[in-house]
């Protein structure tokens, strides 16, 4: 989630870890394997369907793991470990409430329309549902957001490697970006997906070591809770819901309403159901049932991710001898919250294991970069270049454009990475990007899928007004910090609450404008909405399919486990 990004600015200039020759060999081997996968898969990417959607031939398991891995980057590992140290288990809301319901909703409710319409992208669906203006607006805003996010990924990785290992920041930027450019250029989404699956397992292997050894040292979960209570009296770091009754009773400065509606509904549903970076992975599935199952499988794995992301931060509260501080106080021998995961790696990992842990971080960053670049190439080629510049070229021409767009996307991302060096406050803007573009986009897409009366004009104007309303609220708070009390409905609200409530209001504004304009304009006839909208589309009937093979059945199982987990840690 975007708020984790702001936690990546490391202020100390002292490197934390040193690698042995064995560790360097592990890292070098990873780069060789990644490039080898790209060269090997090039032979299987001949057509546009192959390059942009992996031939629509992925199993539900491969698509589901890639779906999760595209979001499981080192920004997430580093940022949310830091957030867990700072806020405790409250950070797990960004996984359970802030991901699982939306992923299940995507699989069961929205994937039939994305998949049946045979669209190449989310902007492509908007073209079919609302027309060219809505597609162009969403494609341009998505392209801008994606390249900026990719640049942030590059810079964050280079900065982390500089601080953790003492590597030159320019070396890290160029080596990682060239590697990503090569394997995505060669194999397109197919290469990105297979590397993401590899990176998924590397991340788990590298990070799970910290959680296992940390729990052993702390004396298990109960021992960890006891140690945290002794070291941090008066602060509750191990309950998720009991302190969310008001803004002032928890360190995040947010209440349950902001968590449930702002995070759990608008931002979460917007990201997981309309951000093409992740949706693209599911569109690669080989059939509709696989496309529906992929997000459900991804949700099951996502529920376990706090074991390698949140738990290391909690263990840091229990076992690290020093107390970490905020970024403004870091330096002069003091470590910041952001360094909790590297410090835990240094505590538990010797030669070889340390190389695996660092490889997991590098794999995470490159996974995020590759996801952004492949999604950007698809949206640029199909929704901007083909739609607005050259409509009638053959398939091979668009494959060539997609390949060179990969290179262009990486180069622009490198430029963005260097731009970030000049503006430390850029991370605040990145946090705002999701509320600018994703929250109103979700309003437009969900109304388009569920309401036949939504009109083409309404789709465009709702998205436009919703986007600019979010930007306006962000600018209002920047100019007058006191305005936060009006947006977040409390004088005790903090930055986290601003992001949640700004997203909620922009979604509400988008929906209201879409409904109002729809009532004043003419809708499309039903026969033009087949395959795009509930009520105009005959949905697949699964009465003859055994219960154990139905995506809806497994979605209910995952949802029940989610409820149980929240009750356990309430």
**SS3 annotation, 163-185:** HHHCCCHHHHHHHHHHHHHHHHH
- Those residues whose C-beta lies under 8 Å from the C-beta of residue 208, and which sit 6 or more positions away, are 307, 308
Domain-located, residue 535: yes
* Distance (Å, whole) CA 450 – CA 113: 10
Dihedral sign, CA of 101, 104, 106, 108?
A: negative
The token pair at 330 is: 């870091």
When mean pLDDT is compared across 16-25, 126-135, 146-155, 455-464, the lowest value belongs to: 146-155
The token pair at 480 is: 């007058």
Helices (H), 14-168: 21-41, 48-53, 60-69, 74-87, 100-105, 111-116, 122-130, 132-165
Domain that holds residue 225: 2-14+59-568
Instruction: Kindly tell me if the per-residue pLDDT of 248 is higher than 80.
Output: no
Identify the DSSP state of 523: P
pTM: 0.81
**In the block, residue with structure tokens 């910090």:** 481
Most confidently predicted of 97-106, 278-287, 387-396 = 97-106
Q: What Å distances lie between residue 17 and 20, 76, 338, CA to CA? A: 10, 20, 14
For residues 199 and 364, the answer to whether their CB atoms sit within 8 Å is yes
**Length of the chain as a residue count:** 570
Instruction: Measure CA 502 to chain center.
Output: 19
Instruction: Kindly tell me if the per-residue pLDDT of 502 is higher than 80.
Output: yes
Q: What Å distances lie between residue 256 and 36, 93, 234, 243, 537, CA to CA? A: 47, 10, 21, 9, 37
Give the pLDDT confidence score for residue 212 in this predicted structure: 92
**Smallest Cα–Cα separation from 285: which of 509, 115, 524, 134?**
115
Identify the bridge partners of residue 325 per DSSP, sorted by sequence position. 336
343-386 pLDDT, tens per residue?
A: 888 788 777 777 877 777 777 777 777 777 777 888 888 888 88
More confident residue, 107 or 169: 107
111-120 pLDDT, tens per residue?
A: 888 887 777 7
What are the φ and ψ backbone dihedral angles of 336, each rounded to 5 degrees?
-90, 165
Q: Treating both helix axes as pointing N-terminal to C-terminal, what angle do 169-218 and 276-283 enclose, rounded to 10 degrees? A: 80
Instruction: Kindly tell me if the per-residue pLDDT of 140 is higher than 90.
Output: no
Three-class DSSP category at 335: coil
Domain-located, residue 251: yes
For residues 369 and 177, the answer to whether their CB atoms sit within 8 Å is yes
306-319 pLDDT, tens per residue?
A: 998 899 999 999 99
User: Which pLDDT band holds residue 73 (cuts at 50, 70, 90)?
Assistant: low
Instruction: Kindly tell me if the per-residue pLDDT of 459 is higher than 90.
Output: yes
Three-class DSSP category at 357: helix
- Those residues whose C-beta lies under 8 Å from the C-beta of residue 17, and which sit 6 or more positions away, are 164, 165, 342, 345, 346, 354, 358
172-206 pLDDT, tens per residue?
A: 778 878 887 887 787 777 777 777 788 788 878 87
Identify the bridge partners of residue 336 per DSSP, sorted by sequence position. 325
315-348 pLDDT, tens per residue?
A: 999 998 877 766 555 555 667 777 788 788 878 8
**Smallest Cα–Cα separation from 157: which of 348, 353, 368?**
368
The pLDDT > 90 percentage for the chain reads: 19
* Distance (Å, whole) CA 62 – CA 194: 8
**Cα torsion for 60, 63, 65, 67, to the nearest 10°?**
-130
Domain-located, residue 24: no
* Distance (Å, whole) CA 251 – CA 255: 11
User: Which pLDDT band holds residue 536 (cuts at 50, 70, 90)?
Assistant: confident
* Distance (Å, whole) CA 388 – CA 540: 34
The token pair at 315 is: 């263990």
User: Which pLDDT band holds residue 424 (cuts at 50, 70, 90)?
Assistant: very low
Instruction: Kindly tell me if the per-residue pLDDT of 403 is higher than 70.
Output: yes
Instruction: Measure CA 543 to chain center.
Output: 35
Give the pLDDT confidence score for residue 421 in this predicted structure: 61
Identify the DSSP state of 108: I
* Distance (Å, whole) CA 362 – CA 174: 13
- Report long-range pairs for 443-447 (Cβ below 8 Å, ≥24 apart): 443/507, 443/508, 443/510, 443/511, 443/514, 444/126, 444/130, 444/134, 444/138, 444/510, 444/514, 445/110, 445/122, 445/125, 445/126, 445/273, 445/274, 446/110, 446/269, 446/273, 447/511, 447/514, 447/515
Give the pLDDT confidence score for residue 333 in this predicted structure: 61
* Distance (Å, whole) CA 192 – CA 185: 10
User: Which pLDDT band holds residue 4 (cuts at 50, 70, 90)?
Assistant: very low
Domain-located, residue 48: no
Identify the DSSP state of 524: P
Helices (H), 219-352: 220-231, 256-257, 268-274, 276-283, 288-304, 306-319, 340-348
Mean pLDDT of the chain: 81
User: Which pLDDT band holds residue 75 (cuts at 50, 70, 90)?
Assistant: low
Question: How many independent structural domains does the chain possess?
Answer: 1
For residues 78 and 16, the answer to whether their CB atoms sit within 8 Å is no
Please calculate the CA angle 335-7-410 and round it to the nearest 5 degrees: 120
Q: What mean pLDDT comes out for the span 211-228?
A: 92
Instruction: Kindly tell me if the per-residue pLDDT of 100 is higher than 90.
Output: yes
Give the pLDDT confidence score for residue 432 in this predicted structure: 66
Give the pLDDT confidence score for residue 11 in this predicted structure: 40
Domain-located, residue 42: no
* Distance (Å, whole) CA 407 – CA 537: 39
More confident residue, 397 or 537: 397
User: Which pLDDT band holds residue 10 (cuts at 50, 70, 90)?
Assistant: very low
Domain-located, residue 28: no
The enclosing domain of 514 has a CATH number of: 1.20.1730.10
More confident residue, 152 or 232: 232
Give the pLDDT confidence score for residue 13 in this predicted structure: 43
The pLDDT > 70 percentage for the chain reads: 89
**Smallest Cα–Cα separation from 444: which of 380, 383, 512?**
512
């Amino acid at each position: 989630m975007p708020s984790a990004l702001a936690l990546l600015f490391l202020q100390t200039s002292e490197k934390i870890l040193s690698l042995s020759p064995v560790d360097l060999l592990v890292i070098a081997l990873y780069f060789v394997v990644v490039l080898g996968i790209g060269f090997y898969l090039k032979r299987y990417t001949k057509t546009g369907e192959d390059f942009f959607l992996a031939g629509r031939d992925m199993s539900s398991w491969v698509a589901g793991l890639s779906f999760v891995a595209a979001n499981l980057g080192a920004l997430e590992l580093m940022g949310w470990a830091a957030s867990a140290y700072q806020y405790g288990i409250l950070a797990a809301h960004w996984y359970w409430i802030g991901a699982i319901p939306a992923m299940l909703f995507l699989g069961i409710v929205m994937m039939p329309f994305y998949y049946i319409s045979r669209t190449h992208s989310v902007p492509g669906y908007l073209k079919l549902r609302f027309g060219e203006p809505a597609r162009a607006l969403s494609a341009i805003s998505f392209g801008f957001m994606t390249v900026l996010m990719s640049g942030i990924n590059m810079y964050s990785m280079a900065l982390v490697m500089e601080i953790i290992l003492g590597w030159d920041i320019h070396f890290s930027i160029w080596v990682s970006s060239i590697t990503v450019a090569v394997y995505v250029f060669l194999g397109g989404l197919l290469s990105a997906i297979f590397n993401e699956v590899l990176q998924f397992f590397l991340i788990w292997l590298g990070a799970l070591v910290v959680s296992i050894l940390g729990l052993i040292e702390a004396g298990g979960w109960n021992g960890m809770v006891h140690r945290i209570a002794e070291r941090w009296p008066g602060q509750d770091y191990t309950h998720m819901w009991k302190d969310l009754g008001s803004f002032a009773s928890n360190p995040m400065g947010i209440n349950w309403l902001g968590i449930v509606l702002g995070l759990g509904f608008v931002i979460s549903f917007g990201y997981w159901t309309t951000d093409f970076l992740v949706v693209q992975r599911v569109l690669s599935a080989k059939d509709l049932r696989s496309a529906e199952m992929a997000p459900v499988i991804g949700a099951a794995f996502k529920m376990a991710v706090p074991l390698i992301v949140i738990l290391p931060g909690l263990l840091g509260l229990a076992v690290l001898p020093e107390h970490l501080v905020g970024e403004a106080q870091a330096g002069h021998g003091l470590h910041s919250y952001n360094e909790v995961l590297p410090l835990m790696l240094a505590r538990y990992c010797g030669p070889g294991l340390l190389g695996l842990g660092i490889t997991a971080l590098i794999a995470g960053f490159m996974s995020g970069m590759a996801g952004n670049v492949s999604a950007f190439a698809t949206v640029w080629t199909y929704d901007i270049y083909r739609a607005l510049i050259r409509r009638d070229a053959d398939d091979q021409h668009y494959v060539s454009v997609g390949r060179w767009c990969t290179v262009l996307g990486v180069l622009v991302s490198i430029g963005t990475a260097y731009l970030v060096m000049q503006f430390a406050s850029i991370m605040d803007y990145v946090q705002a990007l999701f509320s600018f573009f994703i929250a109103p986009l979700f309003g437009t897409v969900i109304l388009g899928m569920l309401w036949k009366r939504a009109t083409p004009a309404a789709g465009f104007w709702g998205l436009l007004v919703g986007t600019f309303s979010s930007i306006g609220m962000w600018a209002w708070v920047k100019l007058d910090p006191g305005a936060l009390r009006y947006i977040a409905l409390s004088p005790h609200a903090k930055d986290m609450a601003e992001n949640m409530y700004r997203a909620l209001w922009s979604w509400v504004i988008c929906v209201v404008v879409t409904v109002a304009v729809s009532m004043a304009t003419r809708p499309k006839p039903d026969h033009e909405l087949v395959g795009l909208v509930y009520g105009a589309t005959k949905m697949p009937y699964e009465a003859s399919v055994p219960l154990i093979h139905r995506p809806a059945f497994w979605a209910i199982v995952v949802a029940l486990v989610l409820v149980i987990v929240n009750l356990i840690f309430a």
